[in-house]
Structure 1
Amino acid sequence: MQSKDLVQLAEQFGSPLYVYDAEKIQSQYNRLTKAFSKVDKLRINYAMKALSNIAILQLLKEMGSGLDTVSIQEVLLGLHAGYDPEKIFYTPNGVSLEEIEEVSAMGVQINIDNLSILEQFGTKYPNVPVCIRINPHVMAGGNANISVGHIDSKFGISVHQLPHLVRIVENTKMNIVGIHMHTGSDILDIEVFLYAAEILFDAARNFKNLEFLDFGSGFKVPYKKDDIETDIEELGKKLSKRFNAFCTEYGKELTLIFEPGKFLVSEAGFFLAKVNVVKQTTSTVFAGIDSGFNHLIRPMFYGSQHHIENISHPKGKERFYSVVGYICETDTFANNRKIAEIKEGDILSFRNAGAYCFSMASNYNSRYKPAEVLWMNGEGHLIRAHETFEDILKNQIPLPVAVTTS
């Protein structure tokens, strides 16, 4: 997409606004499948927590993707978007047995990550196909909040508990069809990924009737010019060879599953916001926009850097700005960032806004959530309308008159 297209969309649909480039999502999906073309049975399950708009789900469904879900509500969204239940993978954490039972009844693939629930579920439903999430105790990821495979993580069943796990499976005679792991997000070093894969292979040897191995995801994407990223092609070459060798050893052709979220949609996303005010203080020039961490929390929550451009006047003289929001707390998107000269009314574009941006948005300060647009075949298609005051009030219930007058 070009800057002029983004400016036109901001004028057409208003700001703040999320825009997603369908062509970029498609190219990322094709890049990943091509990297693992040497694997006979490959399945991509899109991690929909990254961006759960049903139009995006439908776009990926048309490409052949399955879904990775983490809640019953995400499962329902996937079904609503037209996915067959068997194409949906459900990996919850800390949910009740009742929720898992409800999802299982829908025909979705269940992935269990703790011994207590595994034993309870296996005792009640020994014939239901179940996947087990292993914690490989590998510290990986670009931030402590997204490193989920280390020894102190709440996610997964420890590899050191495998004997206990195997005993539960033998006692319940439950049907284990897959082994899963996810070490974290923003993994750069593919050797760490390959090391964790060996732990998954070792765990898989304890089960004789597997159908798939799920390697999670966590591929790093570039966030700025010349930024480093996961070498998907090199990983594909090395892991495909090792996976195929393991299948030969195991005596069965297994399916290799990945669960990319950020890799597929992050670079496809743009967040557009209008500059409300340019404020000069004794030491800083602030560009205050019509948004805040209620719409884009990643810089404040993860310390992430999103490249910011003044797309209204991209060729102006560069100056240093701190880009801030309108929330009644410190909501700083960038400190002393060099950006083409900003004037009130200009539109700023935040790159890499496709993953964990709108999906983490809120109504904090009673602000409306922004609209979403899908750019496809040279046109902008509204896929979520701007919220209104009626949306804010929708589920609120005033005090009864009898209470207020008593």
Structure 2
Amino acid sequence: MMHELENNSYPVHREYLIQLAKKYGTPLYVYDSCKIKKQYMKMKNAFTGIENLIINYACKANTNINILKFLQNLGSGLDTVSIQEVELGLKAGFHPKRIIFTPNCVSIQEIKKAVDFGVRINLDNLSILEQFGGYYPDYAIGIRINPHIMAGGNYKISVGHIDSKFGISYYQIPHMKRILKNTGLKIEGFHMHTGSDILDIQAFLSGAKVLFKIAIDFPNLDYIDFGSGFKVPYTKNDIKTDLTSLSSSMTEEVDNFCKNYGSKITFIFEPGKFIVSESGYFLVSVNVIKHTTSTVFAGVDSGFNHFLRPMFYDAYHCIENISNPNGRFRFYTVVGYICESDTFGLNRKVKEIREGDILCIKNAGAYCFSMSSNYNSRYRPSEVMIFKGKDFIIRRRETMQDLIRNIVYIQHM
């Protein structure tokens, strides 16, 4: 079961967004901490029926250290996928044991650094598992399982199917057990993640059953990690994961497993987009209105160097003209200033757009700034966080000095 988005109104008022655009300039990312907290608590409260459940924020969605600190203060743990994210989490104040490092296709050298930091580690391939056991037989680790489940909004964000590069295949469990026996390595948990923007809650339940079937043969586990993939709404009539139905079904599955397992265990969810996506607004200024024989383009002061999701995932993001709320609706293709096709929205119905207007692109809190680049030698934008009713700059706009900071000049050229 799914629910429709109740309304399409801004939690942060339109006039405030305009004020922020004028104060800090555009392009500009704005994050509403109240929405982040609301989503975190919604997730936490939905699964109160599961004893010993913790929420680990999947920080690849947005790694600004102020957002990490905010969630750490709420009681969240942290899901990381790179050693740099681990270090950011430590700088944000997370205890090492509240950080889980679940990398993919990294070297044993990077994993050794995670051991030095003392964080929890999920390994997802047999080669690294065997190497790790040779170096650290006494460092308990988790195993990421590939449950062979096709789930997610599109193929690029489906990561649990049989041809995925992620996880140790369910059918490789006998080989995994042999490595554990040969090395003496101890397992403290099992992990999975099937995809993002999952519509069918059965994907979560099927994955959980796979983990339970494996875990029952491993006594004294500390945790089972279900990953994430919760769907958030992108339009007024869009659907989202029904947490109530999922919680009811998942609680029943967990209770049955615990009765058979015979000892207490911690259960983990790792939401990223669910927590921060709807908190974010991306504000851009309109540079030009350009007419062709068939299309009216609204060209803005940004591009896929700042906001890649529409181009990379073919993702839909609502675009509103917050400068002209009383204008009549017209159709525009909203594009960027990059020297390739970078279309934010194709043939969108938007209140009349004029040069100089400010457009707001919604659901900009997850996988937006974190995927930005300096393509075309453009500066990455500023980030602002609204906290306790006040706005704070949490990342300055880059300058030319940032672009050339690591350049080494050849002398006498």
Task: Report whether the alignment pairs 1:236 with 2:239.
Answer: no
- Aligned residue number for residue 227 of structure 1: 238
Match of 1:370 among 377, 381, 394: 381
Deviation at 1:123, TM superposition (A): 2.3
- Aligned residue number for residue 379 of structure 1: 390
Q: Percent of counterpart pairs with the same letter?
A: 59
- Aligned residue number for residue 340 of structure 1: 351
- Aligned residue number for residue 135 of structure 2: 124
Deviation at 1:400, TM superposition (A): 1.1
Q: Distance in 2 between matches of 1:253 and 1:208?
A: 11
Say which SS state the counterpart of residue 166 (structure 1) adopts: helix
User: Are the counterparts in 1 of residues 304 and 342 from structure 2 also a CA contact under 8 Å?
Assistant: yes
Say which SS state the counterpart of residue 129 (structure 2) adopts: helix
Task: Report whether the alignment pairs 1:252 with 2:252.
Answer: no
User: Are the counterparts in 1 of residues 220 and 263 from structure 2 also a CA contact under 8 Å?
Assistant: no
Correspondence list, 1:381-400, <5 A: 381-400=392-411
- Aligned residue number for residue 304 of structure 2: 293
Deviation at 1:206, TM superposition (A): 2.4
Deviation at 1:339, TM superposition (A): 0.1
Correspondence list, 1:43-62, <5 A: 43-62=54-73
User: Are the counterparts in 2 of residues 166 and 206 from structure 1 also a CA contact under 8 Å?
Assistant: no
Q: Distance in 2 between matches of 1:189 and 1:182?
A: 14
Deviation at 1:133, TM superposition (A): 0.3
Match of 1:142 among 138, 153, 158: 153
Deviation at 1:191, TM superposition (A): 1.2
Counterpart amino acid of 1:202? K
Task: Report whether the alignment pairs 1:37 with 2:48.
Answer: yes
Counterpart amino acid of 2:321? N
Task: Report whether the alignment pairs 1:307 with 2:318.
Answer: yes
- Aligned residue number for residue 176 of structure 2: 165
- Aligned residue number for residue 22 of structure 2: 11
Say which SS state the counterpart of residue 9 (structure 1) adopts: helix
- Aligned residue number for residue 24 of structure 1: 35
Deviation at 1:375, TM superposition (A): 1.0
Say which SS state the counterpart of residue 315 (structure 1) adopts: coil
User: Are the counterparts in 2 of residues 90 and 109 from structure 1 also a CA contact under 8 Å?
Assistant: yes
Counterpart amino acid of 1:102? K
Counterpart amino acid of 1:237? S
User: Are the counterparts in 2 of residues 180 and 213 from structure 1 also a CA contact under 8 Å?
Assistant: yes
- Aligned residue number for residue 324 of structure 1: 335
Correspondence list, 1:180-191, <5 A: 180-191=191-202
Say which SS state the counterpart of residue 105 (structure 1) adopts: helix
- Aligned residue number for residue 92 of structure 1: 103
- Aligned residue number for residue 87 of structure 2: 76
Counterpart amino acid of 2:138? N
Counterpart amino acid of 1:19? V
Counterpart amino acid of 2:132? F
Say which SS state the counterpart of residue 240 (structure 2) adopts: coil
Q: Deviations over 1:64-103 (max 9, x none)?
A: 0011011111111111111111111000000111110111
Say which SS state the counterpart of residue 311 (structure 2) adopts: helix
Q: Distance in 1 between matches of 2:398 and 2:357?
A: 22
Q: Deviations over 1:147-193 (max 9, x none)?
A: 00000000000000011111111221211000000000000100121
Match of 2:120 among 109, 112, 119: 109
Q: How many residues align?
A: 402
CA RMSD of aligned residues (A): 0.8
Correspondence list, 1:276-291, <5 A: 276-291=287-302
Q: Which moved more, 1:204-213 or 1:150-159?
A: 204-213
User: Are the counterparts in 1 of residues 65 and 89 from structure 2 also a CA contact under 8 Å?
Assistant: yes
Counterpart amino acid of 1:47? A
Q: Distance in 1 between matches of 2:393 and 2:185?
A: 46
Counterpart amino acid of 2:227? G
Counterpart amino acid of 1:182? H
Q: Distance in 2 between matches of 1:373 and 1:40?
A: 36
Counterpart amino acid of 2:190? I
Q: Distance in 2 between matches of 1:335 and 1:171?
A: 57
Counterpart amino acid of 1:212? Y
- Aligned residue number for residue 278 of structure 2: 267
Deviation at 1:240, TM superposition (A): 1.5
Counterpart amino acid of 1:209? N
Runs (4+) off by over 6 Å: none
- Aligned residue number for residue 4 of structure 2: none
Deviation at 1:200, TM superposition (A): 1.0
Deviation at 1:111, TM superposition (A): 0.5
Q: Distance in 2 between matches of 1:312 and 1:253?
A: 55
- Aligned residue number for residue 8 of structure 2: none
Q: Distance in 2 between matches of 1:120 and 1:208?
A: 23
Q: Distance in 1 between matches of 2:259 and 2:134?
A: 32
Q: Distance in 1 between matches of 2:255 and 2:133?
A: 30
Say which SS state the counterpart of residue 278 (structure 2) adopts: coil
| Structure 1, gaps ≥5 residues long | none
Taking structure 2 as the reference length, the TM-score comes to 0.96
Q: Distance in 1 between matches of 2:190 and 2:217?
A: 10
- Aligned residue number for residue 3 of structure 2: none
